[in-house]
A and B are shown apart, each in its own frame.
Chain A
């Protein structure tokens, strides 16, 4: 009784699964920018990237506490455990400024991506 309605979902999930298999290193040439978190601050706090281009952000958390990289404008949200590294893909973006902040320490952890 439930197999028929599940078919579109199964197809949808299969597509994701196929994507998972073939995706690895497909975009190896994506530009990478490193941001560090130290004492609940982002270094650098101002990141310039080319507009209309996908960019890989490597966020290294040098603090021993977790932080959550968050940006409403970039539509991104990601926890970075203390002492850990994380990768976040952003863009392609229209030219403009895109603020981001650390949700766990929002008063200090602030920054912005500038797409030119």
Chain B
């Protein structure tokens, strides 16, 4: 159970750790307070607990595809928050508009992180709760979970320190591109869940790149968490990814400064 726990917890932690890292780095680069992370973590853990406690009821909704619908709603809401996030940069910055966008950014970042923790955290809680009645497995599951969480948080920390320690302009550009990829990923995952629930039509995969990077390989898993890598996506998934990724890039290109970052 030790290795299973390492892999499972790592997979769940990684996606949340990476988005937290990018948003924290964005806060540092833009001289925003990082206080929002505290409320986001607390709210996220409470939401994950609430979701996990209601999972049996939710899974029965919509003729037993309730989890897909709720998770898809969480993912599309996250994508929507990120689009609003990208829209809140004004070329001609006045002190009032700057203050307002800073405040709304912090609220949006807290909500995005809260949803990420709720989405990933409820799966961890369901997994761990399965071992309550089996004391013989407590030790391997606990140690494995700790190692998995440790690796996930370390990868997130590596990304965070890389983004804040390179040139501020490059760091911001990289953070924005990662946010655009993350938004595309959320939309594509949401679309896949609606296909799985038969709310959207299925179709043949557009391509299959598993010969190059298998989804269950280490690189495949990392790319899945970072940019939503899918070896055999359908047209709807790829389309949802493309629409949201392009929209984010267009918003950033229209509203973000084109010259090197001068600080505030």
Q: Is the CB of A19 within 8 A of B130?
A: no
In the complex, are the beta carbons of A85 and B87 less than 8 A apart?
A: no
Instruction: Give the docked Cα–Cα distance between A65 and B216 (Å).
Output: 24
Q: Which of B18-26, B55-63, B155-163 contacts A (4 or more CB under 8 A)?
A: B55-63
> Which residues of A in the span 59-105 have a Cβ within 8 Å of any Cβ on B?
64-66, 68, 72, 75-76, 78-89, 91-92, 94, 103-105
Inter-subunit contact A68/B251 (CB<8 Å): no
Question: Considering the chains assembled together, what is the distance between the CA atoms of A28 and B68 in angstroms?
Answer: 19
Q: Which of B31-39, B121-129, B174-182 contacts A (4 or more CB under 8 A)?
A: B121-129
B214:A89 contact, CB within 8 angstroms: no
Which chain B residue has the least Cβ–Cβ distance from A92?
Answer: B202
Residues of B within 8 A of A103 (CB): 8
The 3 residue pairs across chains A and B that have the minimum distance between CB atoms: A65-B130, A87-B64, A2-B87
List the interface of chain B (C-beta within 8 A of A): 4, 8, 55-56, 59-60, 63-65, 67-69, 76, 79-80, 83-84, 86-88, 90, 123, 126-127, 129-131, 133, 192, 194-200, 202, 204-205, 210, 214-216, 230-234, 240, 243-244, 247, 250-251
Question: Which positions in A face B, CB cutoff 8 Å?
Answer: 1-2, 5-6, 8-9, 12-13, 16, 19-20, 23-24, 27, 30, 54, 56, 58, 64-66, 68, 72, 75-76, 78-89, 91-92, 94, 103-107
